[in-house]
Structure formats: structure tokens, C-alpha cells
Amino acid sequence: MAKAKMPASKNKYTMRISRLTVDKLGVKLYDRVSAVLAELIANSYDADAEHVVVEAPMGELLAEKKAGVLKDRGFSIVVEDDGCGMTPEQVNEFYLVVGKERRNDPKRGDKSAKHKRAVMGRKGVGKLAPFGVCRQIEIITSGGGKIDGEDEHGKPAKGYLTAHLILDRKGIVKDTDDDYSPKVGALDGTVRAKHGTRLVMTDFDHRHVPEMETLTRQLAQRFGVRTANWKITLRDTQKTKGTKGHENSVGEFGVQCQSGTKITLKDRGASKGDEQWAALDEDSHVVANLFAGFEYEGAWKAVTGWVAYAEEPYKDELMAGVRVYCRGKIAAQTAVFNRKAGFTGEYDVRSYLVGELNADWLDEHEDLIRTDRQDILWSHGPGVEFEKWGQNLVSTIGKLTREPVRKKAWDKFAASSDLENVVTKAFPADAQKDIRENTMQIAKAIAKTVRQDELDDKTQVQNLVDLSLMLGPHITLDRKLQEVTDNADRPLSAITGLLRTARVAELSSFGSIAENRVRVIDKLESLIAGAARDEAALQELIDQAPWLINPQWSPITSNQSFATLRLEFAKHYKKMTGNDIVLQPSSKQNKRADFVLTNQDTCIHLIEIKAADHALKDEEMARINTYDQLMTEFLGLAGNEEFKRHFPEFRITLVCDKLGLKGLAKAAFDGLKSQGRLDHVTWGVFMKRARLAHQDFLKEAERQRKLASKGWVDE
């Protein structure tokens, strides 16, 4: 078979790189003003600049859409530095070559020329970042050695040769592999008195410049540089020079840390031993033995810096977690190094852990940082080991900082609740010293288990105080019981102290119960107008809280005998009337209860509830009369003597606002009421009676507590 003829060419295969790549590396990667500025500032740092000035319309939208058309607003953003700058030749050789790595270039190298800084740039694409927000970039840069030449006015001058060019995004991103030639500016070839670079961005996309304070924090967060001769200044072009807010300096990214939680990871230096390097707290005390790095394929990967707990939970994404820097520029931000859930102190770690770690090896040999510098390539080589190291650090920090975090929670709780004064006021007597101490201990134990953000809730704090006041006397009573048991030969005074504590504990419980009931009554009263129209819901309420009828009633009095009586009476009712009857409200039943049947002590209570403003009808009274007759008959039947012995009394409570009775129904109502077998109350009386009874209970409990604090002197 004959081979097909290949077209003659110098090279058999050829790859073409489209200029559309610029669109992918610039526009698509950098779509926020802060990210663009960070790339340009990093370039200034690498150029040995000592001062960078950024001028921008802070807080402004750079372009706006009107009738679906994007319109530039005429703003400009300027980034100017006093770095080494570039000559026209250097612009062509270095700046206009996309993707050329500086560190592999023998002419420039890995360190800056003047200050010997470890350069931040590597991929050679950061120069395209401005195209993520604008369409035109003007560059004026002066560098090289001082020479004789002409200034911009054509007059003789001594200074630095200047390159002036204008890059247009539309011209660059054409679908072609032809070379792109930028427009040459008027200053090109002139000399300027000072070296440095000025970059001006114009013709913007629909982008927003952050407010001054926000942009300051964003840039501070992106740079972890701690060196002399380096300053970043922001200026708001919307404000007049010298006015408030016109200028701001970018300093360190400040995060207020909790005392006792800051831990420093120190570099082991030149040592190559197997010793573990200490993690130190903010007072330089050893708190754990941790490697400040790890070994990978025989090489030591140092990780230095600090971690701590923030004073407050994360307020924004900038402070969320640990920031990882490479050569002073952020490479990643992580809360838990991708650790899964279920480790000690997890909530606090995920909400409070902050830190700043330095790992310059991340892009020394193998580049482990994503192009957009938003994260590390965790699945590549040493990235896997770094992730394991970080997860171990997170676990250790969770354990080490648990006690300082608990102490902070306790301090916050004690201060916000004024706990010491509250406890002293509740148990003021000298004989109640043990109760005060135990109550404080209980409160401390409870507060330490509560998340700090929950302590901002005043209701939550009050609930914890109430719980402590209730438990304090009971815990004290339990301990005194143990003391008396362990010391059988103690005098009678020990028993007296025991009984005194028991009474305080009892009063504390009763007072708490009454306070809770009054709160329930308050809530019920606010809802009663609407709720009282739902008879089924109110029947279930009475069944679950019979103390609403009488404060002495409690569900605890229900027993097996009464449960059996309910079943047997339902059978008797069906036999005598032919109808089924439901005696207990339940959400599982298909129909609501006919009435609530409960027992208190030796009395059976039938509670009939009608909607608010309802007028009792003749047929409804007839049913009530039937209930009364059949229950009386049932308790008198042969074989029901045991029921009669347990429950010799039977009464009816009717909660109904109005009566619409006539004839026999009216006579039946009057008869039951005159015999003391029927108690009729309106909703207003019902609520007032429940409230007054429990408020009297509260007053009496408080009076008894005061008596106890005075040594049992009755009034």
C-alpha cells in the first residue's frame, strides 16, 4: 500500500499558541480589583520598590449598565512605585514575553538586585491581571543606569531611560498567532529624573472598587512581608488631599487573638537532628513538641509562623482560618487543612482558629500553588505531606487551647451575668456559704461547655444562671448527705445543717417551678384569643399541664389504677350509649377527645373546654349531664369497688365564656352546680386564677427563702 505524501515543510509538526490565551490568564483569573492590585504590588516588590502608591476611586463602581449597555464612568486606577523600573529594551525582553519565568533567567535570577528579596513572581502571567478588570493599560517605566538624554519637553536632561507603551485588550486577544505591537506613548525614549514604574488602568468592565478600609484589609491579608524599606499607600481619588480618609497605609493584617492561645512555630535552623522543635505560646513557654515542618524525600520542608484563636468568631472571609504565605505572598487560606469532621475542639477550631504560616518551598522546585493563588495543589507531592502535617497541627491546637477557650467563656459568662452578686443575693446567710461556693462551681462548669457566641444571648445567659441557682442547693445537699453518712458520730448540729440545706434546695426547686409556670401562663395569655378557638389543642394542653386548673395538680399523680379506669369507663359508655368515647387527647388519634379526664389525689376530674366567646348549648349540657350520670353509675357497679375506693369523688370543670341554656338543660346545670359537682369558669377567670395562684406561690417561696437566710426565725 502506497504511503500518502506529506506536505513539505521545515518542521514536521508545529504548535501554535493563540493570543486568546491572554484572555484565559488575565480576564478569567483576576476578576476582582483587590486581586489585580495584589499582582501589581507583588511586581513592584520584586522590582526592589520601597514605596508603592495606589490611587483609585474607593467604593465606586467603575462602569455601569444603562439600557443593557455597559458604560465606562471615566475613572482610572494608578499603581506607581519607586522600583528599579525598565528600559525599552528590558520591556521587550522581559515584560512583553508572556509566561517567561524570571527565576530561571540568569540575567535576573531568584533574588532582587538591590535588596536581595526572594521574588514573589514565578509564572510570568501576573502582568496580565489588569485585563481582568479593564481594557487598556498604560505603562511608563524608567530604569537602567543614569544617562544623558532629553526630557519630555525635548530639553537636555540626566536621568533614566523611559519606555512608554499602551496595551489594548481587544488588540491582544485576537484569534491569531501574529505578534502584537502595543501603541507607543509620547514619553517613550525620554529620560526621567527618577527610576520606577507607573501603570494606569482605564476603560473598565463592570467592577467595583472596595471601600478604603476594606481594600486596606484585603491587601494586608494578601501580603505577609515583614521587611524594612517596604511601604504600600492607598489614596482615594474621590477625596481631596489632606482630608479624612484620603490616604491610608497598608500594614500587617491584624487579628485580635485570645490571651493564652497564640503558639509560635520556630524554624529548626541548620540543625538536622531528629529532635522535635517546640511550639511556644505568646510568653515563649513550651506548650507542645511539634515539628515546625516535615521531611519529604530527604529534604526538610520548613513551616514557620504562628496560630491562635481569634478574640471573636470569624467576621469575614479574610480572617477565616490559617493563611499560608510563600515568599511573602498568600498562597492559600485554610481553616482545618481539609480535615474531616469529628476531632477534639472542632467547633472552636472552625470558628476561631487563625494564623500565619510561611512555606517558601511551595514554589521553589515544584510549583504547588494554583495560578490564581487561591489555594495549594494539595494532591501533588509534598502537598499531601503538608496537608497531613497541617491536620496534625489542627488536632494539637484543638487540645492545647481547649482550657484557655473555656476560661474565656467562663469570664464572659461571669461578667455578663454579674453572677457573684446574683448568687450572694440568692443565698446571703453565713450558713449558706457552701451553697454559694457550689453554685459558683456549677455555673463555671456549665459556662465552660457553652459556645462563646451563645453567651451573647441574654436569655441564654439568664437560663444558665437560673439553672445554677437551682442546682447549687441540691448539689450541696447531696454532699452534706455524704458527709453525714461518712461521719456517723457527728453531733446533732450536723443534722441541723443538713435539714437547713434540704429546705433551701426544696424552696429553690419550688420557686423555679413556679417561675416557669408563670412564664407559661404569660405566653398562653398572649395567645389565648386565637388558641382558645381550638378546643382540641386546649384539651391537650390541660392534659399535659393540669396545674393550669389548679396549681396543686400534677401529672405525677396519674397511676395504673386510673389508666385502667379510663379503659373500663370507655367500655361502659359504649355499652350504655352505643357510641365510642375518646378520653385522652393525642396527636395520633383521628378525632379529638370528647373531654379531658384526669385524676388528682382521690378525685376524678372531667374537664370540658369550649372555645372563647362560645355559648354553651342545650345539647352540650345534655352530654355533660350524661357523663356525670354514667360515671356515677360506673363507680357504683358491682366489681368496681376498687375504683370507688381509690377515687371516691367525681367533679366536672367547665371552661366556657357564656351560657345559652333553657329548660331541662338549665335545670341540670343549676343542679350540678348547687351540689358542688360542677365548677363553671370563664376564660378570663380561668387565666386570672392560674396567674394569681402561682404568683402567691412565688411570693411565699421568696418569703421562705428570706426566713431561711435569717436562721429560721418565723414571722
- Please write the tens of the pLDDT for every residue from 239-253: 999 999 999 999 888
Alpha-carbon distance of 237 to 246, in angstroms, equals 7
Q: What's the domain range around 440? A: 405-519
Instruction: Kindly state whether residues 375 and 440 are assigned to the same domain.
Output: no
Alpha-carbon distance of 562 to 597, in angstroms, equals 10
Instruction: Kindly state whether residues 173 and 267 are assigned to the same domain.
Output: no
Instruction: Kindly state whether residues 343 and 449 are assigned to the same domain.
Output: no
* Closest by CA position to 207, among listed 32, 19, 332: 32
Alpha-carbon distance of 47 to 520, in angstroms, equals 71
pLDDT band with cut points at 50, 70 and 90 for residue 610: confident
* pTM, rounded to two decimals: 0.62
- Please write the tens of the pLDDT for every residue from 520-578: 676 666 656 554 456 666 666 666 667 776 665 655 445 567 778 888 888 988 899 88
For the ranges 81-85, 418-422, 488-492, 620-624, which has the lowest average pLDDT? 488-492
Q: Quote the percentage of the chain above a pLDDT of 70.
A: 75
Q: How far is CA 487 from CA 177, 476, 484, 648, 700, in A?
A: 98, 16, 5, 47, 35
- Answer yes or no: is 524 within a domain: no
- Answer yes or no: is 710 within a domain: no
Q: Between the CA atoms of 158, 162, 164 and 167, what dihedral angle is there, to the nearest 10 degrees? A: -160
- Please write the tens of the pLDDT for every residue from 17-47: 566 666 665 556 778 999 999 999 999 999 9
Give backbone dihedrals phi and psi of 564, rounded to 5 degrees, phi first: -65, -40
As a whole number of Å, the CA-based R_g of the chain is: 41
Distance of CA 175 to the CA centre of its chain: 48
Instruction: Kindly state whether residues 171 and 32 are assigned to the same domain.
Output: yes
The pLDDT value given to residue 524: 66
- Asked if 234 and 250 count as a contact pair (C-beta separation under 8 A), the reply is yes
**Residue 165 exposure: Cα atoms within 13 Å on the Cβ side:** 17
If you search the block for the grid coordinates 465606562, which residue do you land on? 72
Residues near 191 by Cβ (< 8 Å), separated by ≥ 6? 142, 147, 148, 149, 150, 151, 157, 158, 159, 160, 161, 162
Instruction: Kindly state whether residues 360 and 411 are assigned to the same domain.
Output: no
The pLDDT value given to residue 322: 92
Instruction: Kindly state whether residues 561 and 664 are assigned to the same domain.
Output: yes
**Strand 678-681 vs strand 649-655: parallel, antiparallel, or unpaired?**
parallel
Q: Which residue has the higher pLDDT, 298 or 11?
A: 298
Average of per-residue pLDDT across 600-626: 87
The pLDDT value given to residue 86: 94
* Average pLDDT of the chain, as a whole number: 81
Instruction: Kindly state whether residues 409 and 390 are assigned to the same domain.
Output: no
**Strand 299-302 vs strand 247-249: parallel, antiparallel, or unpaired?**
unpaired
- Answer yes or no: is 278 within a domain: yes
Instruction: Kindly state whether residues 295 and 412 are assigned to the same domain.
Output: no
Average of per-residue pLDDT across 341-351: 76
Q: How many CB atoms lie within 10 A of CB 446?
A: 17
The pLDDT value given to residue 491: 55
Domain limit, last residue, from 400, 424, 441:
400
Output the domain CATH number for residue 90: 3.30.565.10
Residues near 313 by Cβ (< 8 Å), separated by ≥ 6? 351, 352, 452, 453
Average of per-residue pLDDT across 370-380: 79
Domain limit, last residue, from 340, 370, 400:
400
pLDDT band with cut points at 50, 70 and 90 for residue 289: low
Per-residue pLDDT at 115 exceeds 60: yes
- Answer yes or no: is 227 within a domain: yes
* Measured CA angle at 707 (ends 704, 713), to 5 deg: 130
If you search the block for the grid coordinates 486606577, which residue do you land on? 77
- Answer yes or no: is 3 within a domain: no
- Answer yes or no: is 374 within a domain: yes
- Asked if 57 and 238 count as a contact pair (C-beta separation under 8 A), the reply is yes
- Answer yes or no: is 689 within a domain: no
Instruction: Kindly state whether residues 457 and 376 are assigned to the same domain.
Output: no
- Answer yes or no: is 709 within a domain: no
Looking at the structure of the chain, the number of domains it has is: 4
Alpha-carbon distance of 330 to 325, in angstroms, equals 4
The pLDDT value given to residue 586: 47
SS (H, E, C) 476-525: HHHHHHHHHHHCCCCCHHHHHHHHHHHHHHHHHHHHHHHHHHHHHHHHHH
Per-residue pLDDT at 82 exceeds 80: yes
Q: How many CB atoms lie within 10 A of CB 495?
A: 12
Instruction: Kindly state whether residues 227 and 188 are assigned to the same domain.
Output: yes
Q: How far is CA 330 from CA 12, 355, 374, 443, 685, in A?
A: 44, 12, 8, 43, 70
Instruction: Kindly state whether residues 411 and 396 are assigned to the same domain.
Output: no
Average of per-residue pLDDT across 389-404: 81
The pLDDT value given to residue 446: 85
Residue 190, classed as helix, strand or coil, is coil
Domain limit, last residue, from 489, 519, 549:
519
Q: Which residue has the higher pLDDT, 158 or 316?
A: 158
Give the cell for residue 378.
494539595
Instruction: Kindly state whether residues 446 and 365 are assigned to the same domain.
Output: no
Residues near 212 by Cβ (< 8 Å), separated by ≥ 6? 58, 59, 234, 236, 245, 248
529-553 residues labelled b (16+ CB within 10 A) or e (exposed): eeebeebeebbbbbbebbbbbebeb
- Please write the tens of the pLDDT for every residue from 638-690: 888 888 888 888 999 898 989 999 999 999 999 999 999 999 988 888 878 77
